[in-house]
């Protein structure tokens, strides 16, 4: 949705009209309803109009007539597409913003080998996750492209009081400026007001902009290293990276979500959350069916994720064999994907005495799920 929003916002910016205004308004409402933090993108879009106005007075005046259409249609579709607002739209919207952070469930996150509650995570939590779980070339070229943009942006602001100053002089510079503001504001506002847990999935919507600045980094290096040999080296490195990622994903299917770049594996082994959605529970349940032929199997998970969701992906005849119990003391099998809601799970001390490990699901050297069976 981020890509769609940016495409239609830029399209309206370049070709203002009734049609582009209506499409942009509908897309804006969809993005807002899907991810509330997209309000930052919306704010940045109007910020770009303000910068354009500072450069040229007539620019804003020629487009101002379309703003009422955008505002009305966006508001209307936000209301239509969000049932929560139907009864009392204004108060419910205010209540959502006020209570979201307070009612977000607190859970423990494994971060550098230490369990930390989600509302007490350090500021660098998501930065480290992005660094460790993204392809290395993406990170390297992003750093080059982003810091180049910081330099350009800073120099631009320093000369903003000059008579003929322009925040951008062509379409490419406009997009650079737009994406830079969107990424920087989104990230810092998320650090200040957002809640972090389960890696950096709360800000996945920023990844297209990260890719964009990585490409800017590639472009910058190609221009600086004005020799075909260097260009071929860069292309070769990308081919190697893509080949490695393709092979890794094929080899570790369906558990690709636990990817950590090999360079950082020494830091990540048993130090970070892996299967926070409990996807591996399906494989654990299938393994239990292989181990026992009992017609009724009592199971429990000593982790945050819900086994009811995992059972739904099994066949009907397989689902009927399982019964989810509320205590380890009643369980025949215990499933653990190492996601903790509390520091201690009642009955957990019985695992060592009354259960034995019968299955470990290991992906790229990381243990993501363990099945315990009760001793007879």
Coil vs helix vs strand at 369: strand
Contact 2, 206 (CB under 8 A): yes
Task: At 25, list the tokens.
Answer: 């308004």
The C-alpha angle with vertex 299 and arms to 295 and 305, in degrees rounded to 5, equals 140
Closest CA to 272 of 77, 137, 132, 68: 132
User: 326-362 as b/e, with b when 16 or more CB fall inside 10 Å?
Assistant: eebeebbbbbbbbbbeeeebebeebbeebbeeebebe
Cis upstream peptide for 254 (omega within 30°): yes
Percentages helix, strand, coil for the chain, rounded to the nearest 5? Answer: 65, 10, 25
The model's pLDDT over 142-165, given as tens digits with 9 standing for 90+, comes to: 999 999 999 988 888 787 777 777
Terminal Cα-to-Cα distance of the chain (whole angstroms): 53
The reported pLDDT for the residue numbered 201 is: 82
**Nearest residue to 63 (alpha-carbon basis) of 23, 108, 14:** 14
- With vertex at residue 92, the alpha carbon angle to CA 79 and CA 30, rounded to the nearest 5 degrees, is 30
Average pLDDT of every residue of the chain: 85
pLDDT one-digit tens code per residue, 29-88: 998 888 777 888 889 988 888 887 776 656 666 677 788 888 899 999 989 988 888 988
Query: CA triplet 152, 158, 146: central angle to 5 degrees?
Result: 20
Question: Peptide bond preceding 272: is omega within 30 degrees of 0, i.e. cis?
Answer: no
Determine the pLDDT at residue 102.
66
- Model-level pTM? 0.84
Residue corresponding to tokens 């504001």: 185
By CB atoms closer than 10 A (0-12, 13-18, 19+), residue 56 is exposed
- Check pLDDT > 80 for residue 173: yes
Per-residue pLDDT, averaged over 118-129, amounts to 85
Check pLDDT > 90 for residue 103: no
- C-alpha span between 138 and 143 (Å, rounded): 9
């Amino acid at each position: 949705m981020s890509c769609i929003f940016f495409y239609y916002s830029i399209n309206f910016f370049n070709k203002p009209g009734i049609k582009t205004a209506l499409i942009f308004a509908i897309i804006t409402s969809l993005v807002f309803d899907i991810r509330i933090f997209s309000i930052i993108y919306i704010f940045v879009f109007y910020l770009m109009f303000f910068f354009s106005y500072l450069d040229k007075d007539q620019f804003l005046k020629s487009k101002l007539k379309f703003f009422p259409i955008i505002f009305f249609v966006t508001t209307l579709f936000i209301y239509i597409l969000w049932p929560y607002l139907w009864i009392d739209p204004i108060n419910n919207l205010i209540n959502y913003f006020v209570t979201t952070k307070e009612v977000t469930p607190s859970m423990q996150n494994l971060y550098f080998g230490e369990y930390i509650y989600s509302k007490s995570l350090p500021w660098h939590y998501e930065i480290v996750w992005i660094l460790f779980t993204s392809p290395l070339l993406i990170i390297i070229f992003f750093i080059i492209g982003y810091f180049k943009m910081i330099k350009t942006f800073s120099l631009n602001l320093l000369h903003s009081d000059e008579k003929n100053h322009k925040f951008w002089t062509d379409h490419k510079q406009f997009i650079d400026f737009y994406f830079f503001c969107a990424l920087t504001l989104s990230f810092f506002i998320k650090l200040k007001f957002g809640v972090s847990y389960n890696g950096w999935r709360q800000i996945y919507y920023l990844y297209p902009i990260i890719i964009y600045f990585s490409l800017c980094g590639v472009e910058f290096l190609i221009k600086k290293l004005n020799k075909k040999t260097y260009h071929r080296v860069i292309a070769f490195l990308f081919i190697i990276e893509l080949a490695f990622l393709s092979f890794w994903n094929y080899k570790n299917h369906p558990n690709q979500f636990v990817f950590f770049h090999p360079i950082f594996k020494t830091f990540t082994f048993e130090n970070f959350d892996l299967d926070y959605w409990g996807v591996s529970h399906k494989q654990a349940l299938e393994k239990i069916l292989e181990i026992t032929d009992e017609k009724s199997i009592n199971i429990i998970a000593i982790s945050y994720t819900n086994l009811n969701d995992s059972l739904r992906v099994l066949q009907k005849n397989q689902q009927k064999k399982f019964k989810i119990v509320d205590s380890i003391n009643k369980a025949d099998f215990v499933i653990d994907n190492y996601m903790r809601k509390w520091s201690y799970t009642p009955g957990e001390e019985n695992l060592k005495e009354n259960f034995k490990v019968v299955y470990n699901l290991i992906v790229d050297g990381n243990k993501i799920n363990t099945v315990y069976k009760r001793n007879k």
